[in-house]
Structure 1
Amino acid sequence: MDKQRLIDWPTFLGAVILLLAVTVPLVVFPERGKEVVDAANVFVTTNFGVLYLLVGLGIFFFLVYVAFSDNGRVKLGEKGERPQFNNFSWAGMLFCAGIGSSILYWGTIEWAYYFQGPPFGIQPGTREAIAWASTYGIFHWGPIAWAIYTLPALPIAYFYYVRKKPVLKVSEATRPLIGRLADGPLGTIIDVLFMFGLIGGAGTTLALGTPMIAEGVHSLTGIEPNMVLKTVILAIVTAVFAISAYSGLKKGIKVLSDVNLWLSIFLLAFVFILGPTRFITETTTNSIGLLLDNFFHMSTWTEPFNALGPYERTGFPESWTVFYWAWWLVYAPFVGLFIAKISRGRTIRQMIIGTMFYGTFGCLLFFGIMGNYGMHLQLTGQYDVINVLNTTGAPQAIIGIISQLPLGALMIFIFTILAIIFLATTFDSSSYILASVVQKTVEDEPQRWNRLFWAFALCLMPLVLMFIGGLGTLQTASIVGGFPLLFIMIMLGWSFMKASTSDIQASEQYKPKTINLNYKKILERLKRRKREEKDHQLGPVDAHFEGNKNK
Structure 2
Amino acid sequence: MKNRLIDWPTFIGALIILLAVTIPLVLFPEQGESFVLAANDFVTQNFGVVYLLVGFVLFFFLIYVAFSVNGHIKLGEKDEKPEFNTFSWAAMLFCAGIGSSILYWGTIEWAYYYQDPPFGIEAGSREAIQWASSYGIFHWGPIAWAIYTLPALPMAYFYYVRKKPVLKISEACRPLIGRLTDGPVGKLIDILFMFGLMGGAGTTLALGAPMIAEGVSRLTGLPANMTMQTLILILCTTIFAISAYSGLRKGIKVLSDLNLWLAIFLLAFIFVFGPTTFIAETTTNSIGLILDNFFHMSTWTEPFNNLGPFERTGFPEGWTVFYWAWWLVYAPFVGLFVAKISRGRTIRQMVLGTIIYGSLGSLLFFGIMGNFGLYMQLTGQFDVVNVLNNQGAPYAIISIINQLPWAPLIILVFTVLAIIFLATTFDSSSYILASVVQSEVEDEPLRWNRLFWAFTLCLMPLVLMFIGGLSTLQTASIVGGFPLLFIMLMLAWSFMKASTDDLKASEHYKPKTINLDYKKILQRLRRKKKRQESSDKTES
Please confirm whether the aligned pair reaches a TM-score higher than 0.5, indicating the same fold.
yes
Question: Who is 2:46 aligned against?
Answer: 47
Correspondences of 1:373-392 after superposition (within 5 Å): 373-392=372-391
Render the CA deviation track for 1:110-143: whole Å, top value 9, x for unaligned: 0000000000000000000000000100000000
Question: Who is 1:435 aligned against?
Answer: 434
Shift of residue 535 of structure 1?
2.3
Question: Who is 1:548 aligned against?
Answer: none
Question: Who is 1:513 aligned against?
Answer: 512
Question: Who is 1:159 aligned against?
Answer: 158
Shift of residue 429 of structure 1?
0.1
Correspondences of 1:87-106 after superposition (within 5 Å): 87-106=86-105
Question: Who is 2:258 aligned against?
Answer: 259
Shift of residue 172 of structure 1?
0.2
Identical aligned pairs, as a percentage?
Answer: 77
Shift of residue 531 of structure 1?
1.5
CA contact 2:69–2:510 (8 Å) conserved in 1: no
CA contact 2:73–2:515 (8 Å) conserved in 1: yes
Render the CA deviation track for 1:405-431: whole Å, top value 9, x for unaligned: 000010000000000000000000000
Number of residue pairs matched by the alignment: 540
Correspondences of 1:347-496 after superposition (within 5 Å): 347-496=346-495
* Inter-partner Cα distance in structure 2 for 1:533 and 1:44: 50
TM normalised by structure 1 equals 0.97
Amino acid in the other structure paired with 2:8: W
Question: Who is 1:530 aligned against?
Answer: 529
Question: Who is 2:135 aligned against?
Answer: 136
Shift of residue 536 of structure 1?
2.7
Question: Who is 2:285 aligned against?
Answer: 286
Correspondences of 1:235-246 after superposition (within 5 Å): 235-246=234-245
* Inter-partner Cα distance in structure 2 for 1:444 and 1:312: 55
Question: Who is 2:59 aligned against?
Answer: 60
* Inter-partner Cα distance in structure 1 for 2:24 and 2:340: 36
What SS class does the counterpart of residue 223 from structure 2 fall into?
Answer: coil
* Inter-partner Cα distance in structure 1 for 2:100 and 2:126: 30
Amino acid in the other structure paired with 1:196: F
CA contact 2:71–2:348 (8 Å) conserved in 1: yes
Shift of residue 534 of structure 1?
2.3
* Inter-partner Cα distance in structure 1 for 2:319 and 2:237: 30
Shift of residue 5 of structure 1?
1.3
Render the CA deviation track for 1:313-336: whole Å, top value 9, x for unaligned: 000000000000000000000000
What SS class does the counterpart of residue 133 from structure 2 fall into?
Answer: helix
* Inter-partner Cα distance in structure 1 for 2:404 and 2:199: 34
Render the CA deviation track for 1:87-128: whole Å, top value 9, x for unaligned: 000000000000000000000000000000000000000000
Amino acid in the other structure paired with 1:99: I
Q: Give unmatched runs, 5+ long, in structure 1.
A: 543-551
Shift of residue 509 of structure 1?
1.2
* Inter-partner Cα distance in structure 2 for 1:468 and 1:389: 24
Shift of residue 305 of structure 1?
1.0
Question: Who is 1:549 aligned against?
Answer: none
* Inter-partner Cα distance in structure 1 for 2:536 and 2:220: 84
Render the CA deviation track for 1:402-460: whole Å, top value 9, x for unaligned: 00000001000000000000000000000000000000000000000000000000000
CA contact 2:73–2:346 (8 Å) conserved in 1: yes
* Inter-partner Cα distance in structure 2 for 1:366 and 1:491: 33
What SS class does the counterpart of residue 306 from structure 1 fall into?
Answer: coil
* Inter-partner Cα distance in structure 2 for 1:322 and 1:75: 34
Question: Who is 2:197 aligned against?
Answer: 198
Render the CA deviation track for 1:192-234: whole Å, top value 9, x for unaligned: 0000000001111000000000000000000001111111100
1:233 paired to 2:245:
no
What SS class does the counterpart of residue 334 from structure 1 fall into?
Answer: helix
* Inter-partner Cα distance in structure 2 for 1:203 and 1:329: 15
Shift of residue 537 of structure 1?
3.1
What SS class does the counterpart of residue 539 from structure 1 fall into?
Answer: helix
Question: Who is 2:208 aligned against?
Answer: 209
* Inter-partner Cα distance in structure 1 for 2:518 and 2:86: 27
Shift of residue 539 of structure 1?
2.9
Question: Who is 2:19 aligned against?
Answer: 20
Question: Who is 1:33 aligned against?
Answer: 32
Question: Who is 2:167 aligned against?
Answer: 168
Amino acid in the other structure paired with 1:156: M
* Inter-partner Cα distance in structure 1 for 2:538 and 2:228: 82
Shift of residue 529 of structure 1?
1.1
Render the CA deviation track for 1:275-314: whole Å, top value 9, x for unaligned: 0000000000000000000000000000111121111100
Amino acid in the other structure paired with 1:389: L
Shift of residue 266 of structure 1?
0.2
* Inter-partner Cα distance in structure 1 for 2:134 and 2:306: 25
What SS class does the counterpart of residue 368 from structure 1 fall into?
Answer: helix
* Inter-partner Cα distance in structure 2 for 1:79 and 1:138: 38
Amino acid in the other structure paired with 1:530: K
Q: Decide which structure has the larger Cα Rg and report it.
A: 1
What SS class does the counterpart of residue 189 from structure 1 fall into?
Answer: helix
What SS class does the counterpart of residue 167 from structure 1 fall into?
Answer: coil
Question: Who is 2:326 aligned against?
Answer: 327
What SS class does the counterpart of residue 305 from structure 1 fall into?
Answer: coil
* Inter-partner Cα distance in structure 1 for 2:528 and 2:439: 32
* Inter-partner Cα distance in structure 2 for 1:478 and 1:210: 19
* Inter-partner Cα distance in structure 2 for 1:340 and 1:510: 23
* Inter-partner Cα distance in structure 2 for 1:395 and 1:138: 20
* Inter-partner Cα distance in structure 2 for 1:111 and 1:195: 32
Question: Who is 1:345 aligned against?
Answer: 344
Amino acid in the other structure paired with 1:517: L
* Inter-partner Cα distance in structure 2 for 1:419 and 1:298: 30
* Inter-partner Cα distance in structure 1 for 2:275 and 2:225: 34
* Inter-partner Cα distance in structure 1 for 2:222 and 2:191: 40
What SS class does the counterpart of residue 165 from structure 1 fall into?
Answer: coil
The RMSD of aligned alpha carbons is: 0.7
* Inter-partner Cα distance in structure 2 for 1:311 and 1:538: 72
* Inter-partner Cα distance in structure 1 for 2:525 and 2:165: 22
Greater mean deviation of Cα atoms: 304-313 or 98-107: 304-313
Q: Give unmatched runs, 5+ long, in structure 2.
A: none
Shift of residue 530 of structure 1?
1.4
Shift of residue 538 of structure 1?
2.9
* Inter-partner Cα distance in structure 1 for 2:47 and 2:437: 31
Greater mean deviation of Cα atoms: 304-313 or 392-401: 304-313
Shift of residue 4 of structure 1?
1.8
Shift of residue 182 of structure 1?
0.4
Amino acid in the other structure paired with 2:16: I
What SS class does the counterpart of residue 443 from structure 1 fall into?
Answer: coil
Shift of residue 80 of structure 1?
1.1
